[in-house]
Structure 1
Amino acid sequence: MAHAARTIEQLIDAAEAEARREPFPVDAAVYEHAKRDPGRPILYAGTLDAPVAVLARDLGRDEVAAGQPLIGAGGRLVRAEIVKRHGEDRNEEALKHALLTNTVPFKPPGNKAYAESVRVRFRPFVAELLAGFWTGTQVLTLGTEAFRWFEPYVEGGAFPESAATDARFEAAYTCRLPLAGGKAKVVSVRPLPHPSPLNRRWYAKFPEMLARRLAESGG
């Protein structure tokens, strides 16, 4: 484990230091419009002691404007299902019941995924967030990139063949996130399709799939 922050603010500061160490692509115009520093990571939103974490790919325009993950069109679907499950009436209340984060805590230019080299740079910070600061054990991933982020932590370092099929949406995968001192935190990863309206195959089914995953996770 590359970092061992004592507080969540130290972890965010360490991720910022990494961002400033060497340039990488960020959507500077979106940060400028939102009056936010493009070098300051938007690492997470929600509650560190929530039972469920939701991992998405990266930030979008709405997320930068709000300064928190999962608040755009897809994020609103996720939040709505969480608050529905808990009898709340405002999407903001989802933050009491889940931790929301991304594989990279920055917005890439356009709507393109970050290169693997960028994910590698920021992987230690996201891993430490999930292993060292979040106390839950149930993770829901949104889309292929977020699901595959966990592959290095699966037994043998590779998902089974079924993980490349629709069977993954019915399965849970045990992963071991590294902790300081050679220890590990065991989490259960339950993949979901990406909740974008452009994902025509799954979009209409997504709320039902998410509700089932939340029920499985106790979230």
Structure 2
Amino acid sequence: MDEIKTLVDKIRQEAEREDFPVDLPIYQGAGKIPTQPILYAGNLDSNICFFGRDLGKDEVAQGQPLIGSAGKMLRKGFYQGVYHQQPSSPEDLQSICDRAILTNTVPYKPPGNKAYTIKVKERFRPFIAQLLAIYWGGNQIVTLGTEAFKWFAPYGPKEKLEEFWQRGDRYEAQLPITLEAVDFQGTKHQRQVSLLPLPHPSPLNKRYYAKFPQMLQQRINQFEF
């Protein structure tokens, strides 16, 4: 865990090096330091990763990714899929962190509900890549939404990812890629993983919102725990 603490410290140092858009009122209202990253929640020894776009106000307040309305829908569905019963308490929803990790393209909350620019994502990419390729031990990544899936574009032939994304069965199929990261000593690391995309479970996503629980269950049936 000392290595993860170092990673978090390095992210904070990068955030303090040069300004970038952060939703300051949300951090101030929650009594949180805006440059302190909320990198992940969950078990680094798990085989499953849920990968979202960025943080919301609930995530800032509670200090972990995917804990707002969309995240709770995800957690509820995952709990049902794993334990074959309805969660009955906040502790039940939190318990999925024993079986997965949850993280995002950027460990900060952007102003409003707008996605971070490519420039900001690339600035923090090396740290997220380290988390996934070095410190996490799994190999199945469920991406939530277009922004989350396309974050992985550098780790495979561009035409291959675009072709996959245009497939009608992209929310049932899997895409193997090779994650790459460089640690703070300059050593390169690689990790073979599979992407299992899903739409983002947001109420604003009218096309897929009602279908998301069933789509998630189909993905859970593909998991190797």
Give TM-score scaled by structure 2 length: 0.91
Deviation of 1:165 after TM superposition, in Å, equals 4.2
Instruction: Kindly report which structure 2 residues correspond to 1:1-219, keeping only aligned pairs within 5 A, or say none.
Output: 7-87=3-83, 89=87, 90-155=92-157, 158-180=160-182, 181-219=187-225
Structure 1: distance between partners of 2:69 and 2:131: 25
Residues 49-75 of structure 1 deviation map (CA, whole Å, 9 limit, x = unaligned): 111000000000000000000001110
**Structure 2 SS opposite 1:170:** coil
**Structure 2 SS opposite 1:23:** coil
Structure 2: distance between partners of 1:157 and 1:39: 36
Structure 2: distance between partners of 1:95 and 1:212: 20
**Structure 1 SS opposite 2:71:** helix
Where in structure 1 do 4 or more consecutive aligned residues deviate above 2 Å? 155-158, 164-167, 179-183
* Unmatched segments (≥5 aa) in structure 2: none
Identity value in percent = 47
**Structure 2 SS opposite 1:185:** strand
Deviation of 1:157 after TM superposition, in Å, equals 7.0
* Unmatched segments (≥5 aa) in structure 1: none
Deviation of 1:121 after TM superposition, in Å, equals 0.5
Change (3 A) 1:179 1:118: closer
Structure 2: distance between partners of 1:145 and 1:156: 15
Between stretches 83-92 and 201-210, larger displacement belongs to: 83-92
Structure 1: distance between partners of 2:135 and 2:159: 23
Change (3 A) 1:176 1:6: farther
**Count of aligned pairs between the two proteins:** 215
Deviation of 1:131 after TM superposition, in Å, equals 0.7
Structure 2: distance between partners of 1:134 and 1:86: 20
| Aligned residues of 1:137 and 1:186 also touching (Cα < 8 A) | yes
Give TM-score scaled by structure 1 length: 0.93
| Aligned residues of 2:11 and 2:127 also touching (Cα < 8 A) | yes
| Aligned residues of 1:82 and 1:97 also touching (Cα < 8 A) | no
